[in-house]
Structures are given as C-alpha cells and as structure tokens.
Amino acid sequence: MNEEIKEKEVRVIGDDNSPMGIIDTKEAIRMAEEKDLDLVLISPNAVPPVCRIMDFGKFVYEQAKKEKENKKNQKVVVLKEVRLSASIEEHDVEIKANNARKFLTEGDKVKVTVRFRGREADYSFKGTKILDNFFKKIEDLSVIEKPAKLEGKNMTMIVAPKRA
C-alpha cells in the first residue's frame, strides 16, 4: 500500500468504486492522501496493476469480520469410534449400533472397528459378517465411506451420515 507500490503507473479505482483510469503512482498516492485514505494494491499481477483508494484499516477489519463469520458457519466433522470384538453378542451389537446412530444424527462420522485377539484374525470372515450386520442396523442413517478392510489385527469400516 501507498509508498510500497513500486510500479510507475497503476489502474486506479476510486473510493466510490468508480474507475479513474491509468494514473502515475505518485499522483494516485497524492489523490488518496488528499481524501485521508490509502492507495491499496488489489491485483498486482494485472497489467497495469490495479489499486483502490480506500481506508486500509477499515478494509482489514471487514476482512477479519468476514473470516470470523465464515468460520462460525463451518461445521467440523468429528470421527467417532465404535469398537466391537470378534465374539460380540447380538444384543451388544444393538447397543453399539444405537451409540453409532446417535453420533450419525449429530453429523459425525463413525469408525467401526472389530478387534481380533490372538488367532481370531485367522477368521476375518467373522469380522466382515459382524460389520455387515452392524451396518444393516444403521443403514437408514448412513452410507459406507470406506468399506471393511483388515489392517493388522483390526478390521475397520468408516460410515458417514447420509446427506439430506
């Protein structure tokens, strides 16, 4: 802004958003100072570069206000985890599915993990069966984002809430 602009000539936009044409940089700075405003470089890559006469402090404040508003409207998606074992009973699967259902209605993703201990990993088809059964209980609220996959001694599946 102001004296930091090194170009000889710039395209100037007035404080009322009216184009003022291509003007010598020193002249544009003088015009801005007459109005107690700043000459701010808006588009440095244009030929000639585009500058605007404005109150820089007010501009920075408005930008910060917009960023804060955008941040407030942003929804942070959290990844919750539900752990199951290879020898889980049907009723326990129901309870875990209800917990996952609650997470999904809040808009969070759910990572469902079946943990295999000892030689249980040899029977990974049981884990697939458990995860399929689990998904059937919550499929009205969710979609599979990452299908079941065996990773070491854990089989994981990520489920996301359905879009309305």
Domains and CATH numbers, the chain: 2-64 (3.10.20.80), 79-161 (3.30.110.10)
- Overall average pLDDT of the 84-92 stretch: 93
User: What average pLDDT does the segment 83-94 reach?
Assistant: 93
Torsion (CA) 125, 141, 94, 132 in degrees, nearest 10: -10
The answer to whether residue 84 scores a pLDDT higher than 90 is yes
Helix axes 124-138, 90-105, angle to 10 degrees: 50
Has residue 76 got a pLDDT over 80? no
Read off the pTM. Answer: 0.57
Beta bridge partners, 19, equal 13
pLDDT in tens, 103-155: 999 889 999 999 999 888 888 889 999 999 999 999 998 999 999 999 889 99
Q: Where are the alpha helices (DSSP H) in the chain?
A: 25-34, 56-73, 90-105, 124-138
Which residue type does 144 have?
I
Q: Are strands 38-43 and 50-54 parallel, antiparallel or unpaired?
A: antiparallel
Going by pLDDT thresholds of 50, 70 and 90, the confidence category of residue 72 is confident
Q: What is the pLDDT of residue 4?
A: 85
Q: Does the pLDDT value for residue 13 go beyond 80? A: yes
Q: DSSP 3-state assignment of 44?
A: coil
**Interval 32-49 mean pLDDT:** 89
Instruction: Please report which confidence band the pLDDT of residue 164 belongs to, taking 50, 70 and 90 as the band edges.
Output: low
